[in-house]
Amino acid sequence: MPSSRAIRYNPPMHYALRPADPRDLSTVLAWIHSPADLRFWGGPLLTWPPDEVKTWREICADDNNTFALVDPAGSLAGFGQTFPRPPDGVHLGRIILSPAVRGQGLGRILVRALVDSALERFHPAAITLNVYRDNLPAVQLYCSLGFTVSAEDPDHNSYSMRLSVPAL
């Protein structure tokens, strides 16, 4: 069942979301050490080994859909994408945090910032994402933000998850 939980998004002011560029992706790729890491982050279609130019193309990145979460010093802490899905949805993808800052609650800040940005720009009725069932930190993160499982794909061992946006 889709969540009807009302959520207010108040990311701390000291982290900022800005459009990402291929140099940010290059940093992200240094956090990815194996085909399994690549699959968890980017899904089954990305090809190994990743590289800045090829992977930027494979994730359909541009400066309208791809974002960097930066700390007060401007260092990259996280990365993610927002894709409008007609008629009234936005799909999140390629969410990742720097390994140096995992386990501190920043995942929630990153996803909330992406959701907030999507709400502001597209006024969607729902936010969706896909996640592998065995990616437990990611599944737990999304559940903690109110996403619920809307479908399961046994062939890819993945969940589709959905967050309903309450009317403002």
Cα–Cα distance for residue pair 78/24, rounded to 1 Å: 9
Q: Which of 27, 117, 135, 150 binds ligand COA (CB under 6 A)?
A: 135
Q: Is 138 among the residues that bind ligand COA (CB under 6 A)?
A: yes
Of the listed pieces 14-22, 60-68, 92-100, 119-127, which binds ligand COA according to CB under 6 A? 92-100
Q: Which of 6, 36, 53, 136 binds ligand COA (CB under 6 A)?
A: 136
Residue 129 backbone dihedrals phi, psi, to 5 degrees? -160, 165
* Alpha-carbon torsion angle 87, 2, 69, 88, nearest 10: 10
Q: How far is the CB of 168 from ligand COA (least distance, A)?
A: 27
Q: Which of 95, 115, 118, 127 binds ligand COA (CB under 6 A)?
A: 95
Q: Is 151 among the residues that bind ligand COA (CB under 6 A)?
A: no
Q: Write out the E strands in 86-132.
A: 89-97, 126-132
Cα–Cα distance for residue pair 143/3, rounded to 1 Å: 10
9-68 binders of ligand COA (CB under 6 A): 40-41
Establish whether the linkage from the previous residue to 137 is cis, with ω within 30° of 0: no
Of the two residues 138 and 165, which places its CB atom closer to ligand COA in the complex? 138
Of the two residues 87 and 153, which places its CB atom closer to ligand COA in the complex? 153
Residue 148, C-beta contacts closer than 8 angstroms, at least 6 positions apart? 1, 2, 3, 161, 162, 163
Q: Is 75 among the residues that bind ligand COA (CB under 6 A)?
A: no
Count residues contacting ligand COA (CB under 6 A)?
17
Using DSSP bridges, classify how beta strands 89-97 and 126-132 pair: parallel, antiparallel or unpaired: parallel
Residue with CB nearest ligand COA?
107
**Sites of contact with ligand COA (CB under 6 A):** 40-41, 95-97, 102-103, 106-107, 131, 135-138, 140-141, 144
